[in-house]
Amino acid sequence: MAQFDSVNPARPSDVVGTFAATGAAEVDAAVTAAAEAQRRWAQVPVPARAEVVARAGEVLRRRKAELAELVARECGKILLEAGGDVQEAVDMASFVAGQGRSAWGETVPSELGSKLCWTTRQPVGVVGMITPWNFPVAIPSWKCFPALLAGNGIVLKPSEHAPVCAEEFVAACREAGVPDGLIQLVHGFAEPGAALATHPGVGAVSFTGSVPTGRKVAAAAMETGPRLVSLELGGKNAMVVRPDADLDLVVDGALFGAFGTAGQRCTSTSRLIVHPDVAGELVDRIVKRALDLRLGDPTRPSTDVGPVINRASAERIQSMVEHALTEGASVACGGRVRLDVEGCDGGAFYEPTVLVGVDRAHRIAREEVFGPVLAVMEVADLDDAIDVVNSVEYGLSSCIYARDINTALYAVDRIDAGIVYVNAPTIGAEIPLPFGGTKHTGNGFREAGARGIEQFSQLKTVYVDYSGRLQRAQIDTPGVS
C-alpha cells in the first residue's frame, strides 16, 4: 500500500506523520466496522450520548495547548488562531451536549380527538465525512459531535494535509468514551473520498471543501443514493465600508479578515467595497499595517502570518495576482511569493497583498483566491455596493461597516449571504448559530447551531390514535360536513 507524508508547511523537511493511502477496500472495511458499532450506539439514550460528547470536549480542553501546537505545525496556522481552532471544538462539544437534553422534535395538536402527533429524530446509520485541512480540529467537531449525538457511526476522511490532527481528535473522542469502532479514519487522496461518497452502507455524506470537488462528491453520492448530502463550499466574501464607518475598526477587521490564516479560510475577507470618500485613507492605513505583519514559523508567538499550505498554492495565488495586473489592477503592497523566510527552509509564504483599481468584472473580484489577497473596489452608491457583493456565485459571509444603523440594516436585508456581520469582518459563525451560505457556497444544510443535527438525522412523524375507532384525517375532522 502506498504511503504519504504529512509535512510542516513552514518546513516541509519536518515530517509530522506518515500514513498509508487507503482505497475502496479499506473504506468498505471501515464502513462495515462503523455500522456494527452504530447498532449498539443507537440504543444508548440520547442524554447518555451527550455525556460522552461533553467528556470529549473536556479532553480537548485539557489538551488545548498541545493540540494548538500540532495544528500550527501541521497546518501552518499561527498559534493564536490554532488555539481558537481547538477552542471551537471544545465549545462545540459543550453546545452539542446541551442538545442532548433539549427538544428532539415537536408536538402538534391533532385535528381529531383522542389522537397524539409528534416528530422525533432517527440516526441515518453511518455518516461519511470529508474534511479540509484549514480547520483540522474545529470542522471535524462540527460534524462528528452532532452525528454522535444523533446515534450514528462515522467514517472520517480528513485532508491529506492534516491527518495527524484528525488522529488526535478521534483519540480524544475515544478517551472520552466513544465506543471502539464507532469512529473510523481513512487517509489518502481522492480515492477514499470517492469510495466513501458512493458506498451503499453510508446514509449521509458531509463534505467541506472546494466547489469543484463538492460538485463531484454530490453527483457521485446522489447517483448511487438516495442519501443525505451536505456541502459546505467556497466563499468570495466582501466587506462594505461606508463613509461614516469607524476606520480604526475597519483596519483591524480587514487585517484579520483578509490576512488571518494567510487568507486560507472559506470566510476570509477577499473584497473591500469602499466609498470613494474614504478609500484613499483606508487603503493607506491597511497597507501601512500590512507591511508590518511578520511572516514566520507559525509555532512562534511572534509570527503574524504563517505559510500557505504548499508551494503549489503559493504559485496559484501568484498567478491570480498577475492576471489581475493584466486586467488593470495594481499592487498597493505585497504581491510576491516568499521562499526566504528565516527559519522556514522550503516553506512557501505569500505576502499580505492589497490590490487597488479592481473592477467587479475582474477575475480577482469573482473567484476565490484562498490566500492573503484583498481586492479593493471603490463604489459610492449603497445599492451599487450591495449589487457588487451579490454579483458572485458565492454567498457565505459578508459584512458592512457603518455607524448609521439604518444603512447597516438596509444592507443586512439585501445582501445574499448566509452570514452578515455589522462592524466586524467576514469571520465564521458562533457556535449556537447556524453556519453556511447561499448559492454555490452550499446546498442548503447548515452546520453548528440547533440545525447542525439535521444533516445527520432523519425526521420520523408519529401518530397515536387511542380513540378505539377508525378516524380519517380530512374526512372525519369535526365540523367538516
Q: Rounded to whole angstroms, how far apart are CA atoms 420 and 442? A: 16
Q: Which residues fall within 8 angstroms of residue 185, CB to CB, at 6 or more apart?
A: 30, 155, 156, 157, 158, 163, 166, 167, 170
- C-beta neighbour count of 18 within 10 angstroms: 12
**Cell triple for 173:** 473522542
pLDDT (0 to 100) of residue 481: 52
Rounded to 10 deg, the angle between the 138-149 and 163-175 helix axes is 40
List the domain boundaries for the chain.
3-233+442-463, 237-422
Asked if 475 contacts 169 with a C-beta cutoff of 8 angstroms, the reply is no
Q: CB within 8 A of 4, min separation 6: which ones? A: 18, 19, 21, 160, 187, 188, 189
CATH classification (class only), 3-233+442-463: alpha beta
Percent of the chain with pLDDT over 70: 99
Residue 266 is a catalytic residue: yes
Q: In this structure, what DSSP letter does residue 88 have?
A: H
Q: At what angle do helices 247-259 and 276-291 cross, to 10 degrees?
A: 50
Site of grid cell 495547548: 65
**Secondary structure class of 422 (helix, strand, coil):** strand
Work out the burial of residue 376: count CB atoms within 10 Å of its CB; fewer than 13 is exposed, 13-18 middle, 19 or more buried: buried
CB 234 within 8 A of CB 368: yes
Residue 142 grid coordinates:
462540527
pLDDT above 70 for 316: yes
The whole-model pTM stands at: 0.96
CA–CA gap between residue 400 and residue 378 (Å, rounded)? 14
Active-site residue, selected from the candidate residues 74, 232, 351, 368: 232
* Fold observed for domain 237-422: Aldehyde Dehydrogenase; Chain A, domain 2 (3.40.309)
Q: What is the pLDDT of residue 46?
A: 97
Active site residue 75: no
Phi and psi at residue 187, to the nearest 5°? -115, 160
Q: Grid coordinates standing for 80?
A: 493564536
Please provide residue 424's backbone torsions phi and psi, each rounded to the nearest 5 degrees.
-155, 155
pLDDT at 425 over 70: yes
Does position 480 have pLDDT exceeding 60, yes or no?
Answer: no
Encode pLDDT of 91-125 as tens digits.
999 999 999 999 999 999 999 999 999 999 999 99
Could you say which of 75, 165, 173, 266 is catalytic? 266
